[in-house]
Amino acid sequence: MSDPIVNEPEAIPETLRERDQWVCWREEERDGKPTKIPVTPGAGGFASATESETWASFEAALDYTETEHADGVGFVFTDDDPIVGVDLDDCRDPETDDVDDAALDIIERLDSYTEVSPSGTGYHVLITGALPEGRNRRGSVELYDTARFFTVTGDHVERTPTRVARRQDSLTAIHREYVQDTERDTAPESEQRGDADDRSPTTDAADVDVDLEDEDLLEKARNASNGEKFERLWNGNTVGYDSQSEADMALCCLLAFWTGGDRTQMEQLFRQSGLMREKWDEVHYADGSTYGEKTIERAIATTSEFYDPDAGGDTEDPHGTPDRVATGGTPDEADRSRAYLVEKNRLLSKRVDELEATLEQKTERIETLETEIERLTDELAARDGETEQSHEEDSGTASETGDDSEPSSLLSRFFGGQS
C-alpha cells in the first residue's frame, strides 16, 4: 500500500481542519485482510468514534502520523456537525485512473470536495446536509453522518470543488437512487391502484401514451397545482436550489411526468427553457453520455407516476398529495389500510436499519478491542522476555564474581555480607 500520510494538509478544507474531531489510524491485518484501526493521537491507544476524549485537533493528529504508531488521519462524524461522508469503494483503477460510471455520476452530482481513498481504488466525497432516513449502504456506496470516522488523505480530485458544499437535494436523490430500496410493491395491480373509480390521473410511463403537442403540454403544466414552480424553472429561475444542476433535474422530473417519460419530447422541451446552457450537450460520462442525456435518464428513473390524459384531473400535482385528499376528501377504507401498512413497513424498515447499524458498530468495536488486546499481550510478553533476560544477565554476573552462595534476594545478600 502507498504511504497514506497527508502530504498536502492545506488541500483539506478548513471546514474539516478547524474541528477537533480527528483521530489517527494504523493498518493491521485481520482475518487475512487489511483493517484500519482508529488510534488516539498522541496516546496510541484505541480511539472510538463515539468517545470525544479519544479525538484531537487536526494538527495533533497530523503530528502523530510522523511516528511509527499511525499510518494516517481520519475525521469523525458526529450529530453536532452537518458533515456527511459519501464512500465510493472499488470504483477506480489506480493504474489507469478508469472510474465506474456510477461513481462518476455521484461525484458529478454532489459537486463537492472529493479525494482519492488511501487504497487508491475509491473516492471519498464530503458535503454538508442531512442524511435521509433509511438504509445507509448498498453495494459499494456508503453514506455516513455520525459515529463513524473517515480516512482523509488530502489527495484532492481535480475538477471538484476545494470546499465542502451544501448539497441536500443531490444527497436525497442519490440516497434514493443508489442506496434506498426503491423497488415497487409487488402486490397485484388491482391492490396497488384500487378500483377504477379511485384511480388518480397518474400512471406508469409504459401504461399510457400522452401524445400532447408541446404548447398543450406547457399549458397544462402551468395550470397544474404546482404550475408556479414549473413556470419559475421554465423561465430559468434557480432560486431555492443549491445549484443549477439540481434545478435542471427538478424541471426534467416535471417534464417526465407531463410527457409520460418521452425522452425525445423532454429533450426538445428542455432546450426551449431558460435553463438550457452549453453544459447540456457536454459529454460527462465514460459511456459517452452527455450531461443532458443522463439528466433525462435519471429524471425518468426517479419519477414514480406519470400523467394519464384519460383519467381526467389535469391539475394533479405529480409530487404532492392527490387533489381529492388535499381538498378535504376522505380516503376510503382500502386507502387507509394501504397507508397504514406502508407507514408500518417504513417504521419497521427504519428500526431494522438502526439495529443493523448498531450491530455493525458493536462488531467493529469488538474487533478493534480484540486487536488492541493482542497488541497489549504481545507487548507484555516482550517485556517479560526482557525481564527474564535481565535476571539471567544478573545471575551470570554473580557467577563471574565467584559468589557461590544463594543471592536469591537483596536481603540475603545483605545478611550474607554481615556474617
Dump pLDDT digits (tens) for 226-256: 999 999 999 999 888 878 888 999 999 999 9
Read off the DSSP letter of residue 331.
P
Query: Average pLDDT of 88-112?
Result: 93
**In the block, which residue shows the cell 474531531?**
21
Residues 20 and 142 in one domain: yes
Judge whether 173 and 132 are in contact, CB under 8 Å: no
Residues 18 and 167 in one domain: yes
Judge whether 127 and 112 are in contact, CB under 8 Å: yes
**In the block, which residue shows the cell 407507514?**
343
Q: Is residue 332 part of a domain?
A: no
Cα separation of 295 and 11, whole Å?
30
pLDDT of residue 167: 93
Cα separation of 253 and 300, whole Å?
7
Read off the DSSP letter of residue 186.
-
Query: Average pLDDT of 83-96?
Result: 94
Residues 100 and 213 in one domain: no
Torsion, Cα of 68, 86, 163, 155 (10° steps): 40
Between 288 and 305, the higher pLDDT residue: 305
Helix pair 291-302, 244-259: axis angle to 10 deg? 60
pLDDT of residue 200: 37
Residue 369 gets the label, from left (phi > 0), alpha (psi -120 to 50) or beta, of alpha
Residues 125 and 265 in one domain: no
Q: Which of 4-13, 67-76, 327-336 is the most confident on average? A: 67-76
pLDDT of residue 413: 46
Q: Is residue 331 part of a domain?
A: no
- Residue 349's pLDDT band (boundaries 50, 70, 90)? low
Residues 157 and 257 in one domain: no
Query: Average pLDDT of 56-75?
Result: 94
Query: Is the pLDDT assigned to residue 178 strictly greater than 80?
Result: yes
In total, how many domains does the chain have? Answer: 2
Residues 230 and 312 in one domain: yes
For 207, list phi and psi in degrees, rounded to 5.
-90, -15
CA atoms lying within 13 Å on the CB side of residue 163: 3
Judge whether 152 and 74 are in contact, CB under 8 Å: yes
Closest among 350, 261, 338, 346 to 299, alpha carbons compared: 261
Query: Is the pLDDT assigned to residue 2 strictly greater than 70?
Result: no
Residues 154 and 300 in one domain: no
Percent of the chain whose pLDDT exceeds 70: 74
Cα separation of 213 and 310, whole Å?
16
Can you give the pTM of this predicted structure? 0.51
Domain boundary among 326, 349, 377: 326
Q: What is the pLDDT of residues 247-281, one digit of tens each?
A: 999 999 999 999 988 888 999 999 999 999 999 98
Residues 173 and 209 in one domain: no
Domain boundary among 296, 326, 356: 326
- Residue 336's pLDDT band (boundaries 50, 70, 90)? very low
**In the block, which residue shows the cell 432560486?**
239
Between 381 and 288, the higher pLDDT residue: 381
- Residue 43's pLDDT band (boundaries 50, 70, 90)? confident
pLDDT of residue 134: 85
216: domain range? 201-326
Q: Which of 68-82, 277-291, 368-382 is least confident? A: 277-291
Q: Is residue 22 part of a domain?
A: yes
Residues 279 and 224 in one domain: yes
Closest among 124, 7, 118, 139 to 77, alpha carbons compared: 124
Query: Average pLDDT of 141-159?
Result: 93
Q: Is residue 229 part of a domain?
A: yes
- Residue 350's pLDDT band (boundaries 50, 70, 90)? low
The mean pLDDT value of the chain amounts to 79
Q: Is residue 349 part of a domain?
A: no
pLDDT of residue 411: 42
Q: Is residue 106 part of a domain?
A: yes
Q: Is residue 102 part of a domain?
A: yes
Judge whether 138 and 98 are in contact, CB under 8 Å: no
pLDDT of residue 241: 83
- Residue 62's pLDDT band (boundaries 50, 70, 90)? very high
Domain boundary among 148, 179, 210: 179
Residues 38 and 97 in one domain: yes
SS3 372: helix
Residues 104 and 65 in one domain: yes
Residues 255 and 299 in one domain: yes
Query: Average pLDDT of 141-152?
Result: 93
Judge whether 330 and 322 are in contact, CB under 8 Å: no
pLDDT of residue 401: 55
Q: Is residue 382 part of a domain?
A: no
Judge whether 112 and 161 are in contact, CB under 8 Å: yes
